[in-house]
Structure 1
């Protein structure tokens, strides 16, 4: 259907593609992956015709129509409703509808037989193109992408960039081109919308090339992986998980071949060096020099699994409780986000705040940070030091600063060598640390902003969509960094692989309340699936979910105070027991049996207190 052969494309002196080839067959679904800056989005623009190759050919069959979703569409604005914008996909049907309306309008005053024939033909063509279903199909796709029915008549310009992107995605899906090019389609989608798009793409009858850093999304939608690396494109059959296995096997084979070749080269070079001055060996030496010149060098395997070893410094250790939210309510006009809800964040909590867009995740994150006005009470715990990462903070980077100076500006106590090591963990090596912020891509700026957060010595982090614009290697680095972080954090993210690897609790908003699931994201998904399929009906009742899967309400500040008080009492009782036991040893050595008997009674009393207090504590935690 579409063939790329010996493609060359350069940015200045830098080769993005050199002798690259890729063949896209009908009904093939390809995930295009690679590090930031390798040219994935550029390849989509070359295929769509926006860019012209510097060499090679891109040829397509006559029936290959192309639809391209790119990030530039975020800025598109119009006064038209989102329903009308999406329905622009049906260009032929809309033209026929206009012609039908004209004929009907004419027949109101001038009824002629030829108009009846024309109307019948137009209506027949309209029906053949399923014209009578275009509005219902458009509504279905828009609502699948997260829009409410009341949103459909609102002007596109009233929506944020992310929501406008959804409208353009809907329009593209309705057009059903033979080849669909998608550049990071999940970046601006919430989890329900991502799952809807996954199913749609899985069932899509055309071919798809999608650039994505969402591993779960690729596993569920594509059947081939095209990896961009070293100015070449390598195609792997199978989904992303299979690619990882196949890539490891290929790397192992390539590593062995590289080491064997290097060994042969060293032996040849030693022979040349040893005998180059001997006339009797001149012919053999010359032969080996020529052989070295002709050798096709095998590249070493690039280690893409960067290992991170951060040393987090907390100037201050916080108390057990990080934050109390008590009887919180928040609304924007008639839109209620939270209503009389309470929650507590404990030291060591790694919380992922998930859910559909519009439910209030970012609002709740701002409430936690103290930057959103609320009804109710928000209190931080003892010695809590907070740091907040959000996408808009990329704009607060000082563009004239170098990377190293930007990190120094945080006031960190780390040395320049330590800061260079941190930047190295975020894939900025060598002289790159002296790059200016203004020349960085969006993904590179995200890495710098995240590095600033992680060296801030804060013991409580708030991260809003930190994986947006990061490639897979950078996401892996962030996962490793957060796994080593000993403090507390709350993360808003739609990246399921990321959330699975960094969270020990799941928060979500339901019925205007903060709900907590006490486990990992995988466990939460299992529980949610069980809950959805086991909802009670009038005809039957259902058993309660297993205790280990049931969500719990977040601790209220009053419960937290009770727990803290009981823990203090337990500590006093344990100290009393230890003191009594020490006195009993002394009295036993002194043969004071009267005093010993009294201490035994005191010991029994304290142990009884310990048992009852511990039971009360266990009932609350």
Structure 2
């Protein structure tokens, strides 16, 4: 259907593609992956004809129509309704409808036999093209992508960029091109919409090439992986998980071949060095020199699984209680987001806040941060230091700073070497730390902003869509960083792989209340599937089916002053306990067993007191 042969494309002096090949067959569903900057979006533009190759050939069959969803469509605006924009996909049907209306209008005042024939011909073609169903098809796809029935007649220009992108995706899906090119289609979708698109793509009759950093999405939608690396394209059969297994095997083989070749080169070089001065060996020496010149070098395997080790330093340890919301309500005019709902965040909670767009996730995050006005009570715990990350905060980066200077301004006491090491973890190595912020891409700016949040010494993080614009390697780095973080955080994300790896609790907003699932995302999905199959059961019965039930998180202190005093005592005792354990370790090393026995008695007393205080603290909160 479409063939790419010996493709060359240069960005300035840098080769994005050099001798690259890819063959797309009908019904292929290909996931296009690779690090940021390797040219994935560029390849889609080359296939669509927007860019021309510097060498090689891109050929397609005559019946290969192409549809391209790209990030430029975010800026498209019009006064037309979103339903009208989506229905632009049916160009021929709309043209026929206009002609039919024109003939009917004429026949009202000037009836002629030839008009009847014309009308019959037009209506026959219109019916053949399913013209009478184009509106219902458009409505179905728009509503599948998250629009309400009331939204359909609102002008496109009133919607944000992310929602406009959904309309353009709907239009593209309705066109049903033979080859569908999708550039990060899940970036602006919520979980229900992502799942809807997954099912649509699974049943799509044409071929698809999709650029995505969503591993779950790739696993559920594609049958081949095309990896862009080293200016080449390597095609792997299977979904993303299979690609990871296959690539590991290929890397192992390549690593062995590389090491064998390097050993051979070293051996040859030693022979040349040893005998180059001997006339009797000159022929053999020259032969080996020529052999080295002709040798096609095998590349070493690039380790893309960056292992990071963050050292988080909390200047202040918070109490057991991080945040308390009591009888909170929030509405924008007639749109009610939350109504008389309560929630508690405890120290060590790793919460993912998920759900459909428009349910109030970002609003709730702002309420938790204290930047959103509410009815009800928001109370922060003792010694809580928070740090907030959101996409709009990329604008607060000083564009004239270097990366290193930007991290220095966080006010931490980290040395320049430590800051360079942290930037290295976020894939900024060597001289790149002296780049100006203004020359960075959106994804690179996201990595800098996340690095700033993680070194801020905050003990409570609020992260709003932190994986947007990050490639898979960067997402993996963020996962590792959060897994090593000993503080508390709440994250809004639609990246299911990310959520599964960083959350021990799932929050969602339902019936204008904050609800909690006490487990991982995979467990939550399993519970939701069971719940949807038994919708006739009351919620309380469904809860009993799970050993750890979903619950509305409610907890009201009867005496705020007493709770605060208890938290202060708990924190003080925990500090004493930590100091005592260090002392006991030294005593054990020095064989001072009599003193060690006395300290053990003291440790038991502290543990008992901590248990009693914690029990009382939990009773007052319940």
Q: Structure 2 length normalisation: TM-score?
A: 0.91
The alpha-carbon deviation at position 547 of structure 1 amounts to 4.0
Q: Which deviates more from structure 2 when the two are superposed, residues 21-30 or residues 519-528?
A: 519-528
The alpha-carbon deviation at position 620 of structure 1 amounts to 7.6
Distance (Å, rounded) in 2 between the aligned partners of 1:571 and 1:485:
19
The alpha-carbon deviation at position 556 of structure 1 amounts to 1.9
The residue that corresponds to 1:4 in the other structure is: 4
Q: Secondary structure at the match of 2:352?
A: strand
Change (3 A) 1:432 1:612: closer
Change (3 A) 1:25 1:546: same
Distance (Å, rounded) in 1 between the aligned partners of 2:97 and 2:77:
25
Alpha-carbon contact 1:74-1:161 (below 8 Å) kept: yes
Distance (Å, rounded) in 2 between the aligned partners of 1:545 and 1:297:
63
The residue that corresponds to 2:519 in the other structure is: 519
Deviations 1:567-603, CA, capped at 9 Å, x for gaps:
999999xxxxxxxxxxxxxxxxxxxxxxxxxxxxxxx
* 2:24 counterpart of 1:24: yes
Change (3 A) 1:614 1:402: closer
Deviations 1:408-466, CA, capped at 9 Å, x for gaps:
11111100000000000000000000011111111001000000100111111000000
Q: CA RMSD in A?
A: 2.4
The residue that corresponds to 2:359 in the other structure is: 359
Distance (Å, rounded) in 1 between the aligned partners of 2:301 and 2:77:
46
Distance (Å, rounded) in 2 between the aligned partners of 1:352 and 1:340:
21
Deviations 1:249-285, CA, capped at 9 Å, x for gaps:
0000000000000000000000000110111100000
Distance (Å, rounded) in 2 between the aligned partners of 1:13 and 1:234:
23
Distance (Å, rounded) in 2 between the aligned partners of 1:528 and 1:15:
48
- The runs of 5 or more residues in structure 1 that have no matched partner are 573-606
The residue that corresponds to 1:383 in the other structure is: 383
Change (3 A) 1:89 1:612: closer
Change (3 A) 1:544 1:360: closer
Change (3 A) 1:619 1:532: farther
Alpha-carbon contact 2:5-2:21 (below 8 Å) kept: yes
Distance (Å, rounded) in 2 between the aligned partners of 1:464 and 1:238:
32
Q: Secondary structure at the match of 1:84?
A: helix
- The runs of 5 or more residues in structure 2 that have no matched partner are 573-607
Distance (Å, rounded) in 2 between the aligned partners of 1:186 and 1:616:
43
Change (3 A) 1:571 1:154: closer
The residue that corresponds to 1:590 in the other structure is: none
Q: How does 1:172-571 map to 2 (within 5 A)?
A: 172-536=172-536, 545-558=544-557
Alpha-carbon contact 1:33-1:225 (below 8 Å) kept: yes
Q: Structure 1 length normalisation: TM-score?
A: 0.91
Change (3 A) 1:613 1:63: closer
Distance (Å, rounded) in 2 between the aligned partners of 1:543 and 1:368:
29
Q: Secondary structure at the match of 1:558?
A: coil
The alpha-carbon deviation at position 534 of structure 1 amounts to 1.4
* 2:170 counterpart of 1:170: yes
Distance (Å, rounded) in 2 between the aligned partners of 1:168 and 1:545:
43
Greater Rg by CA: 1
Q: Secondary structure at the match of 2:407?
A: helix
Distance (Å, rounded) in 2 between the aligned partners of 1:527 and 1:47:
42
The alpha-carbon deviation at position 565 of structure 1 amounts to 8.6
Q: Secondary structure at the match of 2:557?
A: helix
Distance (Å, rounded) in 1 between the aligned partners of 2:251 and 2:463:
35
Q: How many residues align?
A: 585
Alpha-carbon contact 1:86-1:167 (below 8 Å) kept: yes
Change (3 A) 1:35 1:124: same
